[in-house]
Amino acid sequence: MKLKLASAVHLALVMAAAAQGELCNIKVVTDASPDYSDLESMVHSITSKWPTPAEKCWAMFYWNHIARRQTSPMHLHGLELTDPIRQFNDYGFTMCSTIAGINCSIWDAMGFKVKYWDISLHTVPEVFYDGRWHMYDNSMSAIYTLCDGKTIAGVEDIGKEGACAASGGKVEPGHIARYHCLNATSPRGFLTGADCERSLESEYGCFNPKGLKYRYYFYDWDRGHRYILNLRDGEAYTRHYRSLGTSAEFYVPNHGKDPESVNPRYRIRGNGVRTWKPALTPDSLPKVAYRLTNLKPTLEPEDPDKPSEVVFKIEGGNVITALTIKGAVERQRAQDSVALAVSTTNGLAWTDIWKAERMGETPLDIKLVEPVNGAYEVLVKATLQGKGAVRSIEFETTTMLNAKTQPKLLLGKNTVYVGLGEQTGSIVLWPDLQGAAYKPYVVEEKNVATQPKHPGYMGVMHAAKPNEEAYVVFRIDAPTDITRVTYGGRFYNRAPKSHIDLLHSFDGGKTWKQTYSLTDTKPPWDVIHYETVNLPQVPKPAGGSAGARSVLMKYLWNGPEASTSGCSIYAVRMEVNHLPQVPIPAGGSPLAVTFNWSEVQKDRSRIERSHTQVVDKVPCRYTINAGGYDLPIVNSLKIANLPQVPKPAGGYSNGKDVGGERWLYKWVTYGKNLAEGKPYTCTVPSETSWGAGDPDGKKLTDGIVGPPFVGGITPKFGAAWKQGQRPEVTVDLGKPEACAAFRIQIGAGWPWWDALKGEVKDKVEVLTSVDGKEFASQGFFDFDLHWKDIPINHFMPDDEQATGFNHTLIPPKPVTARYVRFAITPARILTVSEVQVLDGIKFEPFDLRIALPDETPAAPRSEAPVASGVAAAAEAAPGPPAVGPTEAIAPPPEAAPRLKVNRVAQPPKIDGVLDDKAWSQASGTSTFRQTNGEEPTAMTRLYVGQDQQALYVAVECFDTPEAIARLKARVTRHDADGLYEDDSVELFLDPAGRRTSYYQVMVNCRGVTWDAFHSTPGNPDRSWEPKYAVGVSVAKDAWQAEFAFPWAVFDRSPLLAADWTFNALRNCPARAENNYWAPVHARSAHTPERFGTLTGILAKAPASNTP
């Protein structure tokens, strides 16, 4: 579902310098970073210039790495914040589950199918394209490929057993995790872009097949927020790309404290300052006030016996953390009064904040934090009695923002876009639904109950009584005619025949129009839906010519369960757009856009510069050229609605345009490491402090590059030397080789120097030799690292430090050598985890292809950093290794099937051909369904019979001749992993009928078998090796499997009951379908709670059994 929002509309406007008014939906973006105005704009800017799904998803993966950090996740309204636009604009504090939900929301908006997985102590999402599922882990900043090195792997690929040339043919669990991570220091190494040292070995632990749980019922997502920047005459907003302080006025608290305080080294939080001083003259006040009550144009009360009110609207753009009100008020007499109040509910509820106590003129200096913190818009009301008056007033609003997502500048030429969206004001309600927090927003409610704390995986607001209509009604009053209403939210609808409806009314509730009804009760029970109503589609109020200025929005639900798990609401959001209070048909005040940045010099000194562009026509594109040696550091962005002429002077602060071409990142491709596994000598033994050491003399060429961090346990992955020692590590390549580049990964025991700050004082020289006698210097490594040196495909850690880094030395041309010496001169306690010699290295210019709002790429060319995979690998069916039981099992839509087992006169011949008379006497059924209960593509028929000797089962798998000709049967060994990925049949038999333990038998269309006993669901014991008969045959339009199970083979069951728990599963990999006799409605087949039942079994307890 895509949201079409007002900010997506681009307005062509010539601004008149003398005009006065509000400019709405201002957008300032550059071609160096994405447009985070709304979800549609974000997706457009990041992906529209990339042609393939794989490229689009990689680009989104890259920018989501930049936009957030792994830390204590931001919680708002009792939920982890998973709205991409709200999180990326204002916060940036996420954990694995947070960013997994965010990715699900983004991919869904891009039109892809998504999955949300809980794995071992971790959460990841999947996206479906090119015929298979792909996992992008933005929590650990890691993606993995299949053994082809191109196709992004899925969740179930990463932890399973495998082998290829990368492992030397060695078969081991977690092959993909260990050898095919694109964001690791090396195979079997460490993630480069994570929050701390995380080895690929530990990542395999996360993806261990036994710990995978697909949350088919849940996406943990949200969306609907958009960035709204409206500026009135004389109003200015400056976004600072850094924190302005640590006191409560600078942050929205997370669990009661500054969210930045958990990991201050990430430097995520920035702050904005917004200033506005409205003119209080008779001409100006009606234009700048949000609402005037009981006031004449002369600003005198219409009725002196009644109080007068002046309401001003304060907006944040980013989330508001504090508001300072300054000015002066006056009381001339004792009966005069002046009082101030604020509202964050658009005037539905007010909080008194100040009252004038003394006579005469009183200065105002009020700082508000708690009453306004967390809001995006605040109404400030001055109530005047008698001759009480406000002489002057000005507002300074402090906001919190995500410093990682603000508009960037790069070296050289940068294109800046300035535009306006639809010229309408906006009013947004986003109530907290926990406990009674929603009540100030509601004008009517019925049969409503809420939980005091949000459960997270289901809604928080539900009916108090079942089978009775429940609803809440919200009201938004606008100061001018309403043009559009957008309302909706996130819903949980599970109980049979329950529904959630959206309705609205423009006549005070006399008539209601229903725009949406959620009646589907199938999983997932996590539905986001918004409705948009345009004013031309609604009638004018009766008897009047003015447009509607008030709207009621009703959320109504009903169902048989009065609980969060039956029918409930996670969250709601409502937005009303209305005509501007001061229409500007010919334009408005010019905008001044000022970027301030620091240019980093070679010696790391900084020169501060700024550029101001006076924009009097939109949309507008202009160029800023940034100089320096390294990437510029943007300090702030100021946008001001200029109040008067003459225009201020624009241009660069120092009057100089440094010029330059558009700067591009570099994509690096490394060649083969010739030093891996090769012997070496070292002239100085390693120190052993902090676990460092190299006793076997193999660690430095074992192919495992150490972590990108220092301290803690990191020294144990390398050798260490201290200042004063001068070790020489000489690697014997075995024969003369062409050496194109040399690398060394250095870290520290102490001190922890950051190469990106120029702190590293260690020296390493590379010398080469053909004969081991005469060595020639190839130069020294340059440890003075700059941001422009880092390839775009090398993801930096969350703290953006290069304390543990694999440095590269490239000679002018490849050098022929057999012996490569690394002469090391430590200036501290230095650790080295690996030395490398590469046979090639290639740097290529790489364009991140940001699309500006006015760009519509016609046919994007492909230059994929990761190529799309072949659409051949279908989603794997549940099977060994066992996935394990799925939590929160959903009830099936109907009762599990039952089948009475007939007796057969003669046992069938087990040859795979179902032509015996016994099968015509056996019980039969063809009511197979997909995992979620939907109809399968092809028919499957099950036969079950019995006699005194055995239980007989046959499965007939029909399909088209073309599909039968392409049956998949790659597994050739009994009990081998991956058999469930073939065209295969699985049987689950529980002779005791207790749904706690069962036998699992599987056969593929080649006749290869796999069997195990599960003492608990999903824990296979393969030592159970029963003696049973199985036969398989393949015909033109079907393949068949038949089994004969002597009663004695079920020797691990305490008894053989008359009614058995049973299920049959057909795996169809070409269609990514798993067809069940008893649909399990879960990702795992190991869900005995959902198995069907075989009745009328004649057998007695086996002679030998294990209790």
User: d(Cα 488, Cα 107) in Å, to the nearest integer?
Assistant: 20
CA atoms within 13 A on the CB side of 89: 26
Q: Is the fold of 39-214 the same as that of 898-1095?
A: no
242-402 under CATH 2.60.120, yes or no? yes
HEC string for 784-824: CCCHHHCCCCCCCCCCCCCCCEEEEECCCCCEEEEEEEEEE
**Global confidence as pTM:** 0.78
Return the pLDDT at 541.
Answer: 52
User: d(Cα 53, Cα 111) in Å, to the nearest integer?
Assistant: 10
User: d(Cα 146, Cα 670) in Å, to the nearest integer?
Assistant: 19
Distance from CA of residue 882 to its chain's centroid? 27
Q: Which amino acid is at 631?
A: L
User: d(Cα 446, Cα 556) in Å, to the nearest integer?
Assistant: 9
Burial 1-16 (b: 16+ CB within 10 A, else e): eebebbbbebeebebb
Return the pLDDT at 872.
Answer: 23
SS3 1040: strand
Write the DSSP symbol of residue 11: B
Distance from CA of residue 756 to its chain's centroid? 28
Please write down the long-range contacts of 282-286, taking CB distance under 8 Å and 24 or more positions apart.
284/20, 285/310
Q: Find out whether 715 and 690 touch, Cβ atoms under 8 Å.
A: yes
Options 3.10.620, 3.90.550, 3.40.50, 1.10.20; CATH for 39-214 is 3.10.620
CATH number given to 425-578: 2.60.120.1020
Return the pLDDT at 546.
Answer: 66
Q: State residue 981 phi and psi, 5-degree precision.
A: -85, -10
User: d(Cα 973, Cα 978) in Å, to the nearest integer?
Assistant: 10
CB atoms within 10 A of CB 1037: 12
Q: Which amino acid is at 441?
A: Y
CB atoms within 10 A of CB 1029: 16
Q: Which amino acid is at 769?
A: S
Return the pLDDT at 582.
Answer: 78
Distance from CA of residue 944 to its chain's centroid? 47
- Alpha carbon of 603 to those of 43, 218, 297, 860: distances in Å? 38, 52, 62, 40
Q: Find out whether 925 and 942 touch, Cβ atoms under 8 Å.
A: yes
Q: State residue 3 phi and psi, 5-degree precision.
A: -105, 125
- Alpha carbon of 565 to those of 559, 668, 740, 1039: distances in Å? 11, 50, 62, 42
Secondary structure E strands in 678-814: 680-682, 719-721, 728-739, 741-750, 763-769, 776-780, 805-809
Name the CATH architecture for the domain at 898-1095.
Sandwich (2.60)
Please write down the long-range contacts of 685-691, taking CB distance under 8 Å and 24 or more positions apart.
686/719, 686/720, 686/721, 687/719, 687/720, 687/721, 687/722, 687/749, 687/829, 688/720, 689/715, 689/720, 689/749, 689/829, 690/715, 690/716, 690/720, 690/749, 691/715, 691/716
For the chain, which residues make up each domain, given as ranges? 39-214, 242-402, 412-423+585-667, 425-578, 679-838, 898-1095
Options 3.40.50.150, 2.60.120.260, 2.60.40.180, 1.10.8.80; CATH for 679-838 is 2.60.120.260
**Which token pair is 126?**
């999947």
Return the pLDDT at 889.
Answer: 33
Q: At what angle do helices 39-47 and 53-67 cross, to 10 degrees?
A: 120
| Helical residues (DSSP H) of 374-465, grouped into ranges | none
**Which token pair is 889?**
């099992």
Return the pLDDT at 749.
Answer: 84
Which residues in the chain land under pLDDT 50?
Answer: 1-19, 537-538, 543-545, 585, 587, 862-893, 1101, 1103-1107
Return the pLDDT at 860.
Answer: 57
